[in-house]
Amino acid sequence: MTIPSAEGFLQASSCLPCTATEEREVVDALTKEAEKNVKHGDLRYLVSQSWWMEWQGYVGLVNYGESGTEQFPQATNRPGEIDNSKLVLAERINGSEEPELQRTLREGEHYTLVPQEVWQRLYEWYKGGPEIPRKVIFDNPTDKTYVVDVYPLCLKLIDARDDSEKVFRISRKAKVHELYSMVCSLMSVEQSEIVIWDYYRRTKGKELTNQNDTLEEAQLSMDQEILLEMKLGGGSSGFSARSTNDELALIPLEPSTSSFSIAGGPTFSNGFSSGIGSSFSQDNSFSPLLRDGEDGYNSLSNGTKDDTHGLSGLHNLGNTCFMNSAIQSLVHTPPLVQYFLEDYTCEINKENPLGLQGELAIAFGELLRKLWSSGRTSIAPRAFKSKLSRFAPQFSGYNQHDSQELLAFLLDGLHEDLNRVKEKPYIEAKDADGRPDDEFAEECWNYHKARNDSIIVDKFQGQYKSTLVCPVCNKISVTFDPFMYLSLPLPSTVTRMITVTVFSGTGDVLPMPYTVTVQKNGNCRDLTKALADVCCLKNSETLLLAEVYERRIYRYLTNPIEGLHIIKDEDILVAYRLPVGHEKLLRLEILHSRADRFLVEPQFNINRKLIGCPIVTCIPNDSTAKSDIYAAVSSVLVPFVRAKAHSPDVSAVKLNGNGPSLDGIVLTDNGTTSEEGLSTSRSREDDNAADNELLPFQLSLTDEKGSTRNAIDMDSNRVLGLVIRVLMDWGEKEHGMYNIDHMDVLPEVFKPGFMSKKTRQEAVNLFSCLDAFLKEEPLGPDDMWYCPGCKEHRQASKKLDLWRLPEILVVHLKRFSYSRYMKNKLDTFVNFPIHDLNMSKYVKPTSRGDQHPVYELYAVINHYGGLGGGHYSAYAKLVEEDNWYHFDDSHVSSVNEDEIRRSAAYVLFYRRVGGSSTAANGGPVDIEMVDSLET
């Protein structure tokens, strides 16, 4: 590798052995080598995501995104020192030299992970820090998938001898015997002399005796206490161990996990394992109501209720508020409460390869019974968290996750564990073949029920109709599919505001910017139509869309079905009003150049820079003479003529005898040309006479970048393709005649400002979200549909209709929007009904005699704050008491119903009410939502 000299470019303290390209190649090679030979115990280093993105831009790193390969924009400046300061807390733990990591970080948003060799090379080049190493952990030695323990367990060791405390970190995948070794090293004691107890919340639990258990399997959680006691004559000092022999007798499982996850990031598996062994007692007895001290549950219960039932909180085990909020919402769902408080063991499906052999259902049912037992003592769901982590590695560790994603996993997992269908029959999918929708929908539902039959299907699943239409052959495809929740986009997430500056291609009016609202998944045809409406386009006119970059036409948007995703907010878009059928004419593209110095010969013109915005007009294909081109340019410049330039003396402007001796295009008093539009009927005598006159401006032929300059031929000019480009020089004379301000500074497609903030703060209602969800729209470019008629993948239009609604309607408000390099949360206030949500407008009437689709709210999951640093809580209603409560981890408090509607609402839970509802019979509904119902 050739290493160029960096002398004169960097400080002596900086080491730069490579160019930007070579840096990229070195890092790429080291990364591939590290991933190829990864092993347990390897180190990965955290690097600030902002610095990493800056470095990627500097080296021009190739990114493999959703739409294939994409090159990062090349940055000109070399990044400064690596700055990881925002990833760590200012203080350190008990004087530890290792910095404490912020608890709310997300991979890809706040940091990225690089192999040790890459970190060493980056540090050698850039210095900085602090260093944040983390270990690679293999869940299964026979599998090459691994996780990086970004958040190892932080434990507080209490010494029973003097009540002293010591905080240390250890991997959650470490064995109990490794914990003993670390404690012995910290406390300078022999392992044979000590006993370590689970001391969660300073309550003595079980002794940690199984040396081969991982700390995760031992149910140790983040920031909890452990107790060190010295053995005395074969016993231990202090309190006697509390018996746990009355726990549910289940054989511990050792599931294999094959999911790949880095620091709690995305997983490439659904978290289920088909090879998990489970065992119940032979008589299939079931008594999950016994005491479980590990979960902080302290009293026996037979499932009966008293005045304080259902008001237990859940401890936060370390960024587990996402889990707690979802659990509280489900355990306050009346049908689930009734189901799990009864004996449901006969429905546990231990043979389903898609399920968890009943373990998830048992863990959930156990937790629900504890939460609904008498008393208001909060519970630590450590056993449930431990099993959840083993079955779904994406939720292991102590990173923050999405509550709705966990909810979806729980509902799906509970369904498979409780599926009454032991052997799923093979059913071949059939087409409607012209049958009525009622008949085909019922057949699809029966097929679904033949393979999926559980309490979750009974209560949570509905059915929607999906209609796809091919844009080419108009082939229509109809399917009926089940759903378990509705993910509703907020209107601001399905539409976007686009600003386009519209130019007149015939010189009628000045350019004018217009802002229109279009569907995000729309196409250029939608944008053109919206612009045509706002700018009052004539029937004889059409619009030609183009993107302007660096004062030139970067591309024309002529494909009407091209998606609007290609248009970025920072782009500059223009549209030219041209006559219908302009495609058959020659397109004349006019670029503008500033001349700081003007010399006689064009080839010596120097210091020229493009200014303004290109203007596009059309001329006949056979009219490329110099006079034709000047006439067309003069015509489109008419709106820019300054007031003083309307005097008769304009055409008499001389350039001191310099420049070509050609006739000028004379402007009349009313600002029009002396020629008639784009007329090309000048006689040869007129052209010859032009030799003796001076033009009001100077033009030359150029290329698409405006970098070349050639003289315009008097008779005709050769045209390559359908575009002829000319460059207009702007000097003092031209600026005196024309005002270029109207074309010099053009607005971007979308610039965040007052209007965007105002839009973001405006309230929307649940019905507008439903309208956006059910509105017909084209599929995205990454979600093309294979048309059976065309035998090609097409960007079809898709329309959803609700066909069958479930008893429990879960509504997910899509507040989080994701793009390739950006994530965002919308705090838009969504006005949703608490009582009498009438869905009659949205569900298709059928002959099934369904109940009235009227619902009442009973739970809400809230998300406060932004991405990464947010917090989840839940509102839940005790239906029998008709009272609302706020479940904020272990804290439970009463709340008024009028406080339920908040901009933090993220997931809504509705329960269908009887047909006697006043709303169903045309009576009064939620007053605050009347306007919404009328939309």
Query: pLDDT tens digits, residue range 31-43?
Result: 888 888 888 888 8
- Mean pLDDT of the 256-281 span: 30
Q: Would you say residue 854 has pLDDT above 50?
A: yes
The tokens for 349 are 């499906």
Q: From 119, 115, 113, 107, select the one nearest 35 (Cα to Cα).
A: 115
Higher-pLDDT residue of 663, 863? 863
What confidence score (pLDDT) does residue 244 get?
34
Q: Would you say residue 235 has pLDDT above 70?
A: no
Taking only Cα atoms into account, the Rg of the chain, rounded to an integer number of angstroms, comes to 36
CB atoms within 10 A of CB 907: 24
Query: Which CA distances in Å does 448 have to 346, 471, 574?
Result: 22, 30, 51
What's 495-599+607-641+696-763's CATH class?
alpha beta
**What are the backbone dihedrals phi and psi of residue 760, each rounded to the nearest 5 degrees, phi first?**
-65, -30
Q: Would you say residue 761 has pLDDT above 50?
A: no
Amino acid letter, 808: I
Residue with tokens 């000047």: 630
Which residues, at least 6 apart from 657, have a Cβ–Cβ distance to it below 8 Å? none
* 806-841 pLDDT, tens digit each: 999 999 999 886 654 446 678 888 999 999 999 988
Which residues, at least 6 apart from 756, have a Cβ–Cβ distance to it below 8 Å? 497, 750
Q: Is 858 helix (H, G, I), strand (E, B) or coil?
A: strand
Q: Which CATH number fits domain 153-230: 3.40.50.10140, 3.30.230.10, 3.40.140.10, 3.10.20.90?
A: 3.10.20.90
* 177-211 pLDDT, tens digit each: 888 888 888 888 888 888 888 888 788 888 888 88
What residues act catalytically? 321, 871
Query: Which CA distances in Å does 478 have to 431, 511, 773, 794, 813?
Result: 8, 46, 17, 16, 26
Q: From CA 199, how far away is CA 293, in angstroms rounded?
A: 11
Amino acid letter, 660: P
The tokens for 684 are 């040869």
- Report the DSSP beta bridge partners of residue 628: none
Where does 166-224 have alpha helices with state H?
176-187
Least confident segment among 264-273, 345-354, 513-522, 748-757 = 264-273
* 550-605 pLDDT, tens digit each: 888 888 998 887 888 888 888 999 999 999 888 888 889 999 988 755 444 444 44
> What percentage of residues in the chain have a pLDDT greater than 70?
73
Q: From CA 698, how far away is CA 737, in angstroms rounded?
A: 13
Extents of the domains making up the chain: 20-64+71-148, 153-230, 495-599+607-641+696-763
Specify the DSSP class assigned to residue 775.
Answer: S
Strands (E), 493-632: 495-504, 512-519, 541-549, 552-556, 572-579, 586-595, 608-619
Amino acid letter, 68: G
Q: From CA 471, how far away is CA 460, in angstroms rounded?
A: 35
Query: Which CA distances in Å does 703 have to 553, 595, 612, 761?
Result: 11, 18, 17, 47
Q: Would strands 792-794 and 785-787 be described as parallel, antiparallel, or unpaired?
A: antiparallel
Q: Would you say residue 293 has pLDDT above 50?
A: no
Which residues, at least 6 apart from 735, have a Cβ–Cβ distance to it below 8 Å? none
Which residues, at least 6 apart from 848, have a Cβ–Cβ distance to it below 8 Å? 438, 442, 804
What confidence score (pLDDT) does residue 205 get?
80
Q: From 800, 798, 792, select the one nearest 472 (Cα to Cα).
A: 792
Q: From 634, 535, 539, select the one nearest 588 (Cα to Cα).
A: 634
The tokens for 695 are 């033009």
**What are the backbone dihedrals phi and psi of residue 197, each rounded to the nearest 5 degrees, phi first?**
-115, 150
The tokens for 863 are 């998300």
Claim: this prediction has a pTM higher than 0.85 = no
> What percentage of residues in the chain have a pLDDT greater than 90?
20
- Mean pLDDT of the 222-231 span: 85
* 60-102 pLDDT, tens digit each: 764 433 333 334 444 557 888 898 888 887 655 444 556 778 8
Q: Would you say residue 247 has pLDDT above 70?
A: no
3-class SS string, 462-486: EEEEEEEECCCCCCEEEEEEEECCE
What confidence score (pLDDT) does residue 832 get?
94
Q: Which helix (H) or strand (E) holds 932?
A: helix 930-934
Mean of pLDDT over the chain: 75
What confidence score (pLDDT) does residue 847 get?
52
Q: What share of the chain is helix, strand, coil (3-state, %, to 5)?
A: 25, 25, 50
Q: Are 856 and 836 in contact (CB under 8 A)?
A: yes
b/e map of 294-325 (b: 16 or more CB within 10 Å)? bbbbeeebeeeeeeebbbbbbbbbbbbbbbbb
Residue 708's Cβ-side half-sphere holds a number of Cα atoms within 13 Å equal to: 8
Q: Are 639 and 672 in contact (CB under 8 A)?
A: no
* 730-759 pLDDT, tens digit each: 888 888 888 888 888 889 988 865 444 444
Q: From CA 487, how far away is CA 267, in angstroms rounded?
A: 21
The tokens for 617 are 């007009």
Q: Are 795 and 563 in contact (CB under 8 A)?
A: yes
Q: Are 285 and 365 in contact (CB under 8 A)?
A: no
What confidence score (pLDDT) does residue 767 get?
92
Q: Are 564 and 498 in contact (CB under 8 A)?
A: yes
Q: Please, which pLDDT band fits residue 648 given cuts at 50, 70 and 90?
A: very low
What confidence score (pLDDT) does residue 386 get?
77
* 868-915 pLDDT, tens digit each: 567 899 999 998 888 999 999 989 999 999 999 998 999 999 999 974
Q: Would strands 133-138 and 68-71 be described as parallel, antiparallel, or unpaired?
A: unpaired
| Dihedral (Cα; 280, 282, 288, 289), 10-degree rounding | -160
Q: Please, which pLDDT band fits residue 628 given cuts at 50, 70 and 90?
A: confident
Q: Would strands 146-148 and 785-787 be described as parallel, antiparallel, or unpaired?
A: unpaired
**What are the backbone dihedrals phi and psi of residue 109, each rounded to the nearest 5 degrees, phi first?**
-110, -45
- Provide the CA 564 distance to its chain's centre, in angstroms: 17
What confidence score (pLDDT) does residue 171 get?
84
Residue 260's Cβ-side half-sphere holds a number of Cα atoms within 13 Å equal to: 5
We find that the CATH architecture of domain 20-64+71-148 is: 2-Layer Sandwich (3.30)
Which residues, at least 6 apart from 173, have a Cβ–Cβ distance to it below 8 Å? 137, 139, 149, 214, 215, 216
Q: Is 200 helix (H, G, I), strand (E, B) or coil?
A: helix
What confidence score (pLDDT) does residue 850 get?
61
Q: From CA 641, how far away is CA 663, in angstroms rounded?
A: 19
Q: From 781, 726, 765, 477, select the one nearest 602 (Cα to Cα).
A: 726
- Report the DSSP beta bridge partners of residue 809: 910
Q: Are 365 and 344 in contact (CB under 8 A)?
A: yes
One fold for 20-64+71-148 and 153-230: no
Q: From CA 471, how far away is CA 787, in angstroms rounded?
A: 10
Query: Which CA distances in Å does 912 have to 802, 805, 812, 858?
Result: 15, 9, 17, 10
Query: DSSP of 322-377, one letter per residue?
Result: HHHHHHHHHHT-HHHHHHHHS--GGG--SS-TTS-TTHHHHHHHHHHHHHTSSS--
What confidence score (pLDDT) does residue 652 get?
32
Q: Would you say residue 935 has pLDDT above 80?
A: no
Q: From 192, 195, 364, select the one nearest 295 (Cα to Cα).
A: 364
The tokens for 774 are 């059910």
Higher-pLDDT residue of 303, 81? 81
Least confident segment among 8-22, 297-311, 398-412, 524-538 = 297-311
Higher-pLDDT residue of 859, 76? 859
Residue with tokens 């960007």: 795
The tokens for 459 are 């209560």
Q: From CA 705, how far away is CA 591, in angstroms rounded?
A: 9
What confidence score (pLDDT) does residue 912 get?
94
